[in-house]
């Protein structure tokens, strides 16, 4: 479909039914316990119509807008990471037998996911996790057939800075791309699968005015972002400031709780643990998310390599913005701003980097 189409709000359910009929489990943003979070969608009425989020360092609030829009907010509380890289999951189970033991892998067997409303920053994060977990069978089992319906962001939060990281507000990888206008969506196909799902809807072509309005809204969203990170590989510059006194100043505020790493859509640290049944007949190994701020994470070869909070914060930030380039050829930050919002101390990554590098935030 070379020509963008227009999907009225009252036909969004047609797209959802199309996805369900194609065998997808549809995931999208919903109001859940006072926040907007991804969850399973049965119908368009479950979307957060008429709500917007207010996000600043250490603060998250929802507000009613009175506008009949489903995506007039910035980011859900979590990115897409939990849907492909589970917070906790069994890797294998063992059962004792008469002549030894049997070992069985625990690969997930689930319906393919269709993510409706994926943000540009979260899709960029998925691309980063694709590279990190390329050979992880559990991740690939969930990820390989997933379909992404992006909604280009037109209302960033005060915590967002994806324009400076080059990851938004317009999504770059998607099967179907949507831009929400007052009465519906401009629709683009980004893949043959996306085109195959759109064509049966027989949508009218988007008008020149609708296309111009959509482009203007996304461009304006980029201009409204006030936070930013310096561009490019910061490894050498951060290494040159490895003993800067600001690391210790941040540590006075940082609780080392690890919230930033749990909310981050690209952090991938994890640990494994084994449990056995009381009768010693079965055992299981599980994987769970870990954090470089945790006490045990830095305990290597018999001693703690990062005993101080300042060292852990420096490890997290220099890896995210510097060493990640060496490993994966790009930054580990996608500018979603969740590490700011969900930090209970309101620590602002963009301001800390500016202070350490001696730049204005």
Cβ atoms of residues 76 and 33 within 8 Å: no
> Do 117 and 140 fall within a single domain?
yes
Handedness of CA 209, 221, 72, 148 (dihedral sign): positive
Q: Give residue 339's domain range.
A: 234-267+295-357
- Report the length, in residues, of the chain: 361
SS3 331: coil
Alpha-carbon gap, residue 36 to 254, rounded angstroms: 26
Alpha-carbon gap, residue 249 to 227, rounded angstroms: 21
> Do 21 and 140 fall within a single domain?
yes
Give 319-334 pLDDT, tens digit per residue: 999 999 998 999 999 9
CA proximity to 292, closest of 321, 278, 271, 272? 271
Q: Is the pLDDT of residue 159 over 60?
A: yes
> Do 78 and 118 fall within a single domain?
yes
Identify the pLDDT of residue 1. 52
Domains: count for the chain: 2
> Do 205 and 317 fall within a single domain?
no
Identify the pLDDT of residue 212. 98
What pTM does this model have?
A: 0.95
Give the helix ranges, DSSP H, for 159-225. Answer: 162-165, 192-198, 208-223
Rounded to the nearest 5 degrees, what angle is found at the Cα of 269, between the Cα atoms of 268 and 273? 125
Distance of CA 312 to the CA centre of its chain: 22
Q: Is the pLDDT of residue 284 over 70?
A: yes
> Do 121 and 37 fall within a single domain?
yes
Identify the pLDDT of residue 299. 86
Give 199-221 pLDDT, tens digit per residue: 999 999 999 999 999 999 999 99
Q: How many CB atoms lie within 10 A of CB 352?
A: 19
Average pLDDT over residues 137-159: 97
Is 98 inside any structural domain?
no
Is 208 inside any structural domain?
yes
Is 248 inside any structural domain?
yes
Cβ atoms of residues 339 and 332 within 8 Å: no
> Do 206 and 137 fall within a single domain?
yes
Is 275 inside any structural domain?
no
> Do 205 and 304 fall within a single domain?
no
Q: How many CB atoms lie within 10 A of CB 270?
A: 17
Is 96 inside any structural domain?
no
Give 300-322 pLDDT, tens digit per residue: 888 889 999 999 999 999 999 99
> Do 143 and 244 fall within a single domain?
no
């Amino acid at each position: 479909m070379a020509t963008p189409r227009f999907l009225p709000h009252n036909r969004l359910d047609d797209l959802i039914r199309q996805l369900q009929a194609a065998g997808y489990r549809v995931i999208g943003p919903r109001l859940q316990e006072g926040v907007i979070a991804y969850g399973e969608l049965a119908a368009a009425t479950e979307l957060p119509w008429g709500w917007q989020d207010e996000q600043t360092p250490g603060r998250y609030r929802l507000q009613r807008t009175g506008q009949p829009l489903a995506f007039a907010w910035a980011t859900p509380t979590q990115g897409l990471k939990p849907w492909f890289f589970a917070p906790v999951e069994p890797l294998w189970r063992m059962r004792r037998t008469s002549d030894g033991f049997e070992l069985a892998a625990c690969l997930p067997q689930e319906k393919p996911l269709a993510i409706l409303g994926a943000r540009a920053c979260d899709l960029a994060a998925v691309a980063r996790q694709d590279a990190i977990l390329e050979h992880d069978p559990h991740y690939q089992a969930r990820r390989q057939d997933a379909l992404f319906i992006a909604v280009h962001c037109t209302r960033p939060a005060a915590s967002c800075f994806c324009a400076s990281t080059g990851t938004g507000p317009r999504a770059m990888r998607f099967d179907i791309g949507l831009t929400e206008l007052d009465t519906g969506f401009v629709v683009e196909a980004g893949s043959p699968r996306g085109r195959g799902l759109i064509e049966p809807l027989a949508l009218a072509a988007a008008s020149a005015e609708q296309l111009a309005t959509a482009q203007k809204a996304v461009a304006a969203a980029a201009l409204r972002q006030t936070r930013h990170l310096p561009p490019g590989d910061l490894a050498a510059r951060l290494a040159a400031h490895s003993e800067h006194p600001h690391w210790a100043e941040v540590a006075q505020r940082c609780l080392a709780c690890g919230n930033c790493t749990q909310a981050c859509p690209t952090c991938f640290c994890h640990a494994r643990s084994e449990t056995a049944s009381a009768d010693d007949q079965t055992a299981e190994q599980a994987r769970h998310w870990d954090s470089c701020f945790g006490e045990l994470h830095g305990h290597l070869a018999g001693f703690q390599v990062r005993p101080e909070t300042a060292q852990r914060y420096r490890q997290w930030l220099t890896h995210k913005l510097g060493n990640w380039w060496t490993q994966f050829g790009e930054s580990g930050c996608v500018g979603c701003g969740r590490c700011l919002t969900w930090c209970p101390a309101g620590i602002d990554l963009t301001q800390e980097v500016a202070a350490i590098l001696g730049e204005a935030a």
